[in-house]
């Protein structure tokens, strides 16, 4: 146990708070996971919207699908009844956090990660238990911890049209509102300039913008995107290649966040240079 006292004081504290010090105030977990269903019932042969809700202790954050310089995104292992199929996590737009010169893409406070579950056509009427083991890494400026929470949600399988659970409606609405939207095909392209690349997006308006790449070693993420206000017909965002990168950036994937008059919208980007399609 000696090693543990040095290696993992938070873990020992957590153990103590539940196993021994029942009368003391429990330690607030760095991250708490829960599984919630948008509707308390589900129809066979349709999709059921669920979400993994993560609640962070103050000062802690969890990571986006691409975490940035450090950290790792939460991972969900599904334990679903036979025939059910879980779709991918729809990642809400994170925010960029710079600590000690390191760039991270994170969620703080509380976040809902929506997932669509396919309910099999042959699902029998009655209760279905949905299981999700959520593996998370939560960090602050001072420390990182990790954990695995095994969560469950219960839904009733019935033919009636599902009605949203009012207790969770606001959380799902907020998560959907922060999901990146899809652009029309061909709306986003890349141009090169001497110091980097320009992401050009037709049909969008904005007064400032941020870009969160989803591939490592593409951009110098310490340099914020530079918004070029001169074009009236397209957004032009200057970005800078990763240090020591020799190959030009010919394809850029990630999320573009556009600010205009106090509102924010985000867009999924997969842009290439017209002359040089991806190999």
Chain residues that interact with another protein, rule: CB under 8 A? 2-4, 6-11, 14-15, 17-19, 26-29, 31-35, 55, 65, 67, 69-73, 75-77, 88, 99-100, 102, 104, 131, 133, 135, 137, 139, 141-152, 215-217, 244-247
Q: Residue 116 or 133: which CB sits closer to another protein?
A: 133
Neighbours of 23 (CB within 10 A): 5
Q: Least distance from C-beta 264 to another protein, angstroms?
A: 26
Rounded to a whole number of angstroms, the minimum distance from the CB of residue 190 to another protein is 19
Judged by beta carbon, residue 142 or residue 261, the one nearer another protein is 142
Shortest reach from residue 91's CB to another protein, in Å: 11
In the complex with another protein, the residue whose CB is nearer, 28 or 226, is 28
Rank residues 32 and 168 by Cβ distance to another protein and give the closer one: 32
Residue 180 CB, shortest distance to another protein, in Å, is 18
Residue 250 Cβ vs another protein, minimum distance, rounded to whole Å:
14
Closer CB to another protein, 85 or 102, in the complex: 102
Taking phi over 0 as left and psi of -120 to 50 as alpha, with beta for the rest, 17 belongs to alpha
User: Which CB, 39 or 104, lies closer to another protein?
Assistant: 104
Smallest gap from residue 57 Cβ to another protein (A): 10
């Amino acid at each position: 146990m000696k090693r543990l006292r040095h290696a993992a004081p938070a873990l020992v504290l957590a153990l103590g708070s539940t196993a021994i010090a029942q009368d003391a105030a429990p330690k607030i977990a760095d991250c708490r996971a829960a599984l919630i269903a948008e509707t308390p019932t589900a129809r066979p042969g349709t999709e059921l919207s669920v979400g993994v809700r993560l609640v962070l202790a103050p000062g802690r954050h969890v990571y986006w699908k691409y975490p940035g310089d450090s950290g790792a995104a939460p991972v969900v292992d599904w334990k679903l009844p036979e025939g059910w199929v879980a779709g991918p996590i729809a990642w809400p737009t994170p925010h960029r956090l710079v600590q000690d010169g390191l760039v991270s893409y994170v969620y703080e406070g509380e976040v809902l990660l929506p997932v669509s579950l396919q309910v099999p056509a042959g699902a029998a009427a009655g209760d279905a238990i949905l299981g999700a083991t959520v593996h998370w890494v939560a960090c602050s400026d001072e420390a990182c911890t990790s954990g695995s929470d095994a969560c469950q949600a219960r839904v009733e399988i019935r033919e009636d049209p599902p009605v949203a659970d009012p207790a969770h409606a606001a959380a799902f609405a907020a998560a959907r509102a922060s999901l990146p939207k899809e652009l029309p095909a061909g709306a986003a392209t890349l141009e090169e300039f001497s110091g980097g690349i320009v992401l050009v997006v037709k049909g969008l308006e904005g007064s400032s913008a941020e870009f969160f790449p989803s591939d490592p070693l593409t951009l110098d993420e310490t340099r914020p995107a530079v918004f070029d206000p001169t074009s009236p017909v397209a957004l032009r965002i200057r970005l800078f290649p990763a240090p020591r990168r020799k190959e030009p950036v010919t394809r850029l994937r990630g999320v573009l966040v556009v600010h205009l008059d106090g509102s924010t919208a985000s867009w999924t980007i997969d842009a290439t240079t017209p002359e040089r399609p991806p190999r």
